[in-house]
């Protein structure tokens, strides 16, 4: 069994996510959950772990066969993002890691655009 990843600050984030302050909600520790609110719709790709995002069960496959469906990509509508989406990590040992991508017009992105 792998050792548990140490907690970063009081947020429940893994250390590498705690350092990436631009999107601290992308990496959830084993057995944790969070309610994430965003201003606009977004898509996401899971890169590690298993759990749920809202009512969807998500997981990262270790092997994908031709024609096989996966549960590692999803889209969150603007109303759902504004209301908040519950992200739950169901793994006993792995973090739940996702990459979120937003379209143009995200008001939260303005501070990062030069």
Helix (H) or strand (E) holding 41: none
Six-digit token string for 48: 């590690």
Q: Where do the domains of the chain lie?
A: 15-103
User: What is the distance between the alpha carbons of residues 54 and 25, in angstroms, rounded to a whole number?
Assistant: 15
Q: What is the pLDDT of residue 28?
A: 60
Average pLDDT over residues 28-56: 90
CB 76 within 8 A of CB 45: no
72-110 pLDDT per residue, tens: 999 999 999 999 999 999 998 889 999 999 888 888 887
Q: What is the pLDDT of residues 13-37, one digit of tens each?
A: 344 433 334 444 445 678 889 999 9
pLDDT band at 63, cuts 50/70/90? confident
Indicate the pTM of the whole model: 0.68
* Topology (CATH level 3) of domain 15-103: Jelly Rolls (2.60.120)
What's 6's DSSP letter?
P
């Amino acid at each position: 069994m792998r050792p548990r990843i140490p907690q970063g600050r009081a947020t429940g984030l893994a250390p590498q996510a705690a350092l990436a302050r631009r999107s601290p909600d992308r990496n959830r520790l084993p057995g944790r959950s969070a309610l994430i609110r965003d201003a606009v719709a977004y898509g996401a790709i899971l890169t590690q772990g298993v759990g749920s995002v809202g009512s969807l069960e998500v997981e990262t496959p270790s092997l994908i066969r031709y024609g096989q469906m996966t549960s590692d990509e999803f889209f969150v509508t603007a109303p759902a993002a504004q209301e908040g989406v519950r992200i739950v990590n169901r793994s006993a040992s792995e973090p739940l890691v996702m990459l979120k991508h937003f379209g143009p017009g995200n008001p939260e992105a303005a501070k990062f655009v030069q």
